[in-house]
């Protein structure tokens, strides 16, 4: 679907629609909405914007919501997406749907003046509609890095008018991060980078993480090697591929373990029986939003992951 404003009939009559958004389908990065009168920040937030200082804020990212609570700015929060489930209080804010399946009217019905999210939020058309309605939309570029966490903290600081507290939080986490990364680097340098496999088993067939995923970056940051090379995104787990990849350790989420009915059940999957990890039942399981959300708990997650990996590889 072309995503342009109703400028004039010629725009579509000539078929010269500005940008293609095929139904809710074309995945394309959010672009600035060239629209006089609608104040919109459709490009990733770069920290040079004037303070947003929202009165009514909607967060479309679990990590951003978490930071809002850390900065004690939750009175400003009028809504969040379904991934915002930590801390527990965040679960009680009105939910505008899953981060990639938002509905413009639903978001606007909560009368926000600012919407913050990551570039994973969508569909892009909906974000543009929200911006067109005069709501400031600020997005953080999502690239699964430590810098992403810092960007998120600064954005929330701006959006809630608590820049000073945000800066303190960023520095505190940076210290944690540096310590953790020093340990990781030391063990990688000592040749202790176990071959790990990330399994996502929240529903249906377990999926394994390839490149360009949050999990892949996480394994690297935790000082492990991802055994799954050569494809992007997630793929279903298959027995032969498992045997071939020979992971020494399985990394997964506690939610996934609960979903299959505990670690026993998890290891009972025939695909895993042929892996080195199976011999010692080597597994590290961490809470999903901590592990994959790239929020303020990332240093802890990396530390826990790293320690788990060390324990498996003496």
- Residue ranges in 121-160 that form contacts with other proteins under rule CB under 8 A: 122-123, 125-126, 129, 132-134
Least spacing, CB of residue 209 vs other proteins, in Å: 11
Which part of the chain contacts other proteins (CB under 8 A), choosing from 31-39, 165-173, 215-223, 289-297?
31-39
Cβ neighbours of residue 102 under 8 Å, at least 6 residues apart? 60, 81, 96, 121, 122, 123, 126, 127
DSSP symbol at 20: B
Interface mask toward other proteins for 234-273; x: CB under 8 A: xx--------------------------------------
> Is 93 or 180 the residue whose CB approaches other proteins more closely?
93
> Is 94 or 261 the residue whose CB approaches other proteins more closely?
94
Write phi, then psi, for 84 (nearest 5 degrees): -85, 85
How far is the C-alpha of 266 from the C-alpha of 280, rounded, in Å? 14
According to the binding rule CB under 8 A, does residue 280 interact with other proteins? no
| Closest-CA residue to 309 (of 195, 217, 229, 186) | 195
| Closest-CA residue to 90 (of 110, 113, 70) | 70
According to the binding rule CB under 8 A, does residue 27 interact with other proteins? yes
Locate all alpha helices (DSSP H) within the chain, ordered by sequence. 9-13, 62-70, 104-109, 124-132, 146-160, 163-189, 214-221, 239-245, 254-260, 263-267, 276-279, 288-292, 298-312
How far is the C-alpha of 42 from the C-alpha of 127, rounded, in Å? 8
Among positions 72, 105, 147, 264, the unique one binding other proteins when judged by CB under 8 A: 105
According to the binding rule CB under 8 A, does residue 44 interact with other proteins? no
> Is 3 or 180 the residue whose CB approaches other proteins more closely?
3
Q: Which residues bind other proteins (CB under 8 A)?
A: 1-8, 11-12, 15-27, 35-38, 79, 94-98, 100-101, 103-111, 120, 122-123, 125-126, 129, 132-134, 213, 232-235
């Amino acid at each position: 679907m072309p995503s342009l404003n109703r400028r004039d009939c010629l725009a579509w009559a000539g078929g010269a629609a500005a940008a293609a958004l095929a139904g809710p389908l074309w995945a394309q990065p959010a672009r600035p909405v060239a629209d006089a009168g609608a104040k919109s920040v459709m490009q990733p937030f770069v920290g040079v914007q004037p303070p947003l200082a929202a009165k009514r804020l909607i967060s479309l990212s679990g990590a951003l919501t978490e930071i809002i609570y850390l900065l004690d700015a939750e009175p400003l929060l009028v809504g969040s997406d379904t991934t915002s489930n930590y801390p527990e209080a965040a679960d009680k804010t009105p939910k505008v749907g899953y981060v990639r399946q938002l509905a413009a009217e639903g978001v606007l019905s909560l009368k926000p003046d600012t919407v913050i999210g990551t570039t994973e939020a969508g569909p892009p058309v909906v974000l543009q509609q929200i911006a067109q309605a005069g709501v400031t939309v600020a997005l953080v570029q999502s690239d699964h890095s430590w810098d992403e966490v810092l960007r998120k903290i600064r954005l929330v600081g701006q959006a809630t008018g608590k820049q000073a507290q945000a800066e303190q939080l960023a520095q505190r986490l940076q210290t944690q991060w540096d310590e953790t990364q020093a340990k990781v680097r030391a063990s990688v340098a000592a040749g202790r980078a176990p071959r790990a496999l990330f399994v996502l088993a929240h529903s249906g067939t377990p999926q394994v993480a390839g490149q360009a995923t949050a999990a892949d970056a996480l394994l690297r940051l935790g000082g492990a090697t991802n055994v799954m090379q050569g494809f992007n995104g997630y793929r279903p787990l298959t027995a032969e591929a498992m045997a071939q990849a020979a992971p020494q350790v399985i990394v997964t989420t506690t939610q996934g373990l609960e979903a299959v009915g505990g670690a026993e059940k998890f290891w009972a999957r025939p695909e895993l029986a042929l892996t080195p990890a199976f011999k010692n039942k080597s597994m590290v399981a961490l809470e999903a939003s901590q592990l994959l959300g790239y929020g303020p708990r990332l240093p802890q997650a990396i530390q826990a992951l790293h320690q788990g990996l060390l324990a498996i590889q003496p």
